[in-house]
Amino acid sequence: MDKQTVSELFNQAFKREPQVVTYAPGRVNLIGDHTDYNNGFVLPAAIDMGTYIAARKRDDNEIHVIASDINGEKLSFGLDTISFDDQIGWGHYVKGVFQALLSHLLSQENQRTGKVNIQGCDLLISGTLPQGAGLSSSASLEIALIKAITELFGFHLEGICAALIGQQAENVYVGCNCGIMDQLISALGQDRQAMLLDCNDLSYRYAKIPDNLRLVIVNSNVKRQLVGSEYNERRQQCNEVAKFFNQSSLRGVSLQLLEAGKSDLSERLYRRARHVITENVRTERAFDALGQGDIVLMSQLMADSHASLRDDFEVTTPEIDYLVSSLSSAIGSSGGVRMTGGGFGGCVIALVPHRLLDTVRVVVERDYFKQTGLKADIYVCSAKAGAFS
């Protein structure tokens, strides 16, 4: 898939050439899960799979969208009457982005006139990200769409602003209380780099991923869906503990403070908070380990992260745990492996030396189906630049 192919698909669908074609990558998180909405640290990388959007202006106020990868499903709505229903799930993200972007432009640039110079457009969506695998296909769609609209109508947005608009679309209009990580790395990722993002103040730094390591993503094909799942429940549990300690988020709670209040918390709430607090420490250490090329330490930190997500946060599955265990045996301390994303299915991320790529493939293809009855998909990826980099 490339821009030329997407242009041709648009031409076939709408019988005219697109005016812009944009792309935003998905992401994989090396370490730091369920820390972002707790104002903590995350260490993601943008990957060389993502979402393309081809767009062309219309002469009216109508938005016409075709999702070429989803059986050519179509969506049409007017900019003046954006409403939400359950008929087309991916349509929520498209409508949410338009709603959030229009709200931003009205409040920032055009508040005096109350008008926004956005009109209707034709859109075609196509991509290379597996849906529901935990590689942030939703944020990739949001950022690619924001990039397309701003280019099409001549607006300039900084990457952080684009990420916040994408997050608002998902939080307010889709109903998933995600943090900012997915949108920000899709907007501002860098080639061959991982980003240490402080979700408290949105400051970020980059660390080079060693040249001899590849990002291997194994999709368990245990389908997940964050909206309506236990994701929002986990967030509420974290908020309960923060409130108990009179903090706005768990970022303000140290492990020492948590231990002091342990007897007054339920065992479940204590373990949820312990994961987040210790994961923040692991993520900062992992950033330093990457920068120093200390893969032995990185391997241990990723293993500890997975154990914490499994035992304290309880978001893994037996299939994911099996993949992590078998890949860990194959890679040893020359790489690292853990679950990645929101959990409840989805993917495993492994840092794998080039010399062990074939070994990893054999382990997954030979053993996983026998153990689970599912076939895993393997993606060997590189870290790539974001849409607004």
How many Cβ atoms from other residues are within 10 Å of residue 17's Cβ?
12
Annotated active-site residue 182? The verdict is yes
CA–CA gap between residue 37 and residue 234 (Å, rounded) = 10
The residues pairing with 201 across neighbouring beta strands, listed in sequence order, are none
Q: Report the helix count and the strand count for the chain, using DSSP H and E.
A: 11, 11
Q: Report residue 355 as tokens.
A: 């010399």
DSSP H/E element including 40: none
Query: Using CB atoms within 10 A of its CB, is residue 194 exposed (0-12), middle (13-18) or buried (19+)?
Result: buried
Residue ranges in 130-206 assigned as alpha helix (H) = 137-153, 159-168, 181-188
| Closest CA relative to residue 98, chosen from 115, 81, 110, 112 | 81
Write down the catalytic residue from 36, 69, 122, 182.
182
- DSSP string of 292-360? HT-HHHHHHHHHHHHHHHHHTS----HHHHHHHHHHHHHHGGGSEEEEESS-SS-EEEEEEEGGGHHHH
Q: Decide: helix, strand or coil at residue 74.
A: strand
The residue among 190, 200, 380 whose CA lies nearest residue 283 is 200
Question: Are the C-beta atoms of 260 and 240 separated by less than 8 Å?
Answer: no
Question: Torsion angle, CA of 156/166/131/212, rounded to 10 degrees?
Answer: 70
Q: What are phi and psi of 219, to 5 degrees?
A: -85, 115
Enzyme catalytic residues: 182
